[in-house]
Amino acid sequence: MTSLTPFEIHCPCCANSYHTIGWVSTNSLGPFSTDLHCRASGDQPLPYEAHTCPSCGYTIPRGEEFDIPPVSDDVKILVRHIITPIVKERHIQPWLKFEFAAWIAEWKEKNPYEIGFYYLKAAWCAGDCGKTDDEMYYRNQLITYFERELEHPNPGDKYDQAVLIYLIGENYRRLGKTEMAEAWLIKVPKAVRKEKKNYWLAKLAVQQRKDPKEFIEEGQFCYEDEPRTIVRWYNDLRQYYTMLLEKLP
């Protein structure tokens, strides 16, 4: 079960205050798809991982809600000219929030990994809502940024290169670009051996090349070699929960 909580955000772009909803606890018991979207059973936490100001459209990703960085004048101008008109005209669906987050990350000159990750979340959201055209557009976008990231990789503790290589391959596959999918998926085992973790991902990559599936079955892989692997996608959970508790009166 996913527990939600309302809270207030003071927009650093237009100074408007607005109410939004975040999640404080969730689980990973729902379907786990082969594009590494780890779902919850019941309500999904994903739509609550980006907060868009209803006045200007400035979007704050999960993790920044309680320590919101200031916004430069250059970014404010871009938000006002590009995002605000969209917010005034249409209902803002969850995948659009992640697209805004990606644009803003790009305007802030964040690394391609972060930008690509917002597009990945946008693709997951759009896919779960049956918005196939949007989903495919976002999958194309995330590939562009993840490929760019790997030109000058800087993983730190943010990601493993094997995961990014796998995601590029799997997203090409989902776009129907089988040759590109093969070219990337075939690189996964080598990357896994180099990083000495995520060994299950090498097996998954082989499966996706030879007999691709959309979902990973429960118990199909042993994640023991790196217990943080799956948790990593949701490892901000504890951090978020702690921050929320600290902010509560």
Query: Which residues of this protein are in contact with Zn ion, per CB under 5 A?
Result: 11, 13-14, 16, 53, 55-56, 58
For residue 7, give the H/E element and its range: strand 3-10
Residues 49, 50, 52: CA angle, nearest 5 degrees: 155
CA atoms of 217 and 211, how far apart (whole Å) = 14
Rounded least distance, CB 83 to Zn ion, Å? 9
- Residue 75 carries which side chain, given as an amino acid letter? V
Provide φ and ψ at 17, rounded to 5°. -105, 140
CA atoms of 61 and 243, how far apart (whole Å) = 14
Cβ distance to Zn ion smaller for residue 13 or 162: 13
Rounded least distance, CB 93 to Zn ion, Å? 18
At 79 the three-state DSSP class reads helix
Cβ distance to Zn ion smaller for residue 14 or 136: 14
Cβ distance to Zn ion smaller for residue 83 or 126: 83
Cβ distance to Zn ion smaller for residue 56 or 192: 56
Cβ distance to Zn ion smaller for residue 55 or 144: 55
Cβ distance to Zn ion smaller for residue 58 or 138: 58
At 101 the three-state DSSP class reads helix
Rounded least distance, CB 52 to Zn ion, Å? 9
Under a CB-based contact definition with an 8 Å cutoff, are residues 208 and 236 in contact? no
User: 200 - beta bridge partners?
Assistant: none
Task: Say which residues have a Cβ less than 8 Å from residue 42's Cβ, sequence separation at least 6.
Answer: 1, 2, 30
Rounded least distance, CB 101 to Zn ion, Å? 14
Rounded least distance, CB 109 to Zn ion, Å? 21
Rounded least distance, CB 123 to Zn ion, Å? 25
CA atoms of 170 and 189, how far apart (whole Å) = 14
